[in-house]
Amino acid sequence: MKILFDSQIFDWQLNGGISRYFIEVLRRLETNKETEVLFKVRHSYNTYIQHSSWLTKGAVLKNLQFKGKLGALKVINEKLNRPYSNGLLKKNVPDIFHPTYYDTYFLKYLKQKPLVLTVYDLTHEKFNSNSASTRKVLAWKKKLIGIADHIISISENTKKDIVEFYRISPEKITTTYLSGGFDSIIRETETVEEMKKIPANYILFVGNRRSYKNFRSFICEVAPVILKNDIYLVTAGGGPLDPGEPELMKKMGIADRVISFSHVSDQFLAQLYSKALVFIFPSLYEGFGIPVLEAMQCGCPALLSSNSSLPEVGGSAAAYFDPFTEKDLQTKLQELIISGGERNRMKIAGIEQVKKFSWDNTAREHIRVYKNLLQ
């Protein structure tokens, strides 16, 4: 089977769950005897594709500073990268086409080739994001969901949302869980310099802080626990703090107890997980939640919102709170802080929970979807 993937996600995402997912699947499909991967990227700044054989030219402009996405450089990347996928579609080369995001640029070249689409979540649909760019993406997404020969969802919760929102038959959708975590080389590396400056007792927040991530409510809930127990909060990734966030921390009396890193390496992040008292994921909605598995693999107890896909990922190894009930996060966090025995139980259970998810299984499920389509 010749499976064509395009460059979309690598054109605009510096790093993140979607581009990491595709890299992990591509690596495994490339070594599988049943699949021939058709995938080339001429130019990209994406972290995961650097130093791979798929990046044919590398990044021309060096030492650029990014705040998450690549903005205007996306247009340059698209012009350099799209001729590859368009050319193969025109020549009718692939057996199946699997775009990495929702842009419909390829439809005029697709002909009758089977189309597989991965849907990650329905965040924009549920939280009524109304910017012009979001409306455009949602229009693309709706069209592709309607014409796709098969859809891969990354959790049962996402599948349920697709069925309900887009009125798609469940038989057209396969749930294929992602994985996560760090390889042993990253986790066993020597202590990074920044880690030496981190206080002994801290709780950890990881990722971006967009509205549905519930960060401001999180700050208000954890502040009394931080002050009562003389601990710190470390935030990792997601870019620099917005001006209003330090103001809120100051208002809550914890400005001097928050340590923020706008960007972190995998090595540093793994070490932050491994030393944290608790990792907290207060998000109101997640399609999957790779940071949950990262935390558990590093032996970090995870306290999660009890909604969307997070209970699927955390299982009985995590603790949960209701993000819509005032002080529930505060209460659950305080219980974990004072109970070393429960945190130890969660560490052991978390390491077992992680074993239920693997990128090898993710790739195998993709192959099964492709084979079923061709049969």
The 10s digit of each residue's pLDDT in 290-344 is 999 999 999 999 999 999 999 999 999 999 999 999 999 999 999 999 999 999 9
Q: Is the pLDDT of residue 68 over 60?
A: no
Contact 121, 287 (CB under 8 A): yes
Rounded to 10°, the helix 266-275/290-297 angle is 70
Q: How confident is the model at residue 64 (pLDDT cuts 50, 70, 90)?
A: low
Q: In the predicted model, what is the mean pLDDT of residues 74-92?
A: 94
Q: What backbone torsions phi and psi does residue 84 show, to the nearest 5 degrees?
A: -65, -55
Q: In the predicted model, what is the mean pLDDT of residues 233-245?
A: 93
Segment of 61-65, 207-211, 311-315 carrying the highest mean pLDDT? 311-315
Domains and CATH numbers, the chain: 2-179+358-374 (3.40.50.2000), 184-354 (3.40.50.2000)
Q: In the predicted model, what is the mean pLDDT of residues 357-362?
A: 96
Closest residue by Cα to residue 137 from 121, 161, 116:
121
Instruction: Tokens for 117, please give them.
Output: 């689409």
Contact 324, 305 (CB under 8 A): no
Instruction: Tokens for 361, please give them.
Output: 């299984």
Instruction: Tokens for 295, please give them.
Output: 């935390």
111-120, 190-199, 347-356: the lowest-pLDDT one: 190-199
User: Three-state SS for 128?
Assistant: coil
Q: What backbone torsions phi and psi does residue 267 show, to the nearest 5 degrees?
A: -60, -45
User: Three-state SS for 67?
Assistant: strand
Spatial separation of the C-alpha atoms in residues 250 and 150, rounded to whole Å: 49
Neighbours of 361 (CB within 10 A): 15
Q: Is the pLDDT of residue 62 over 70?
A: no
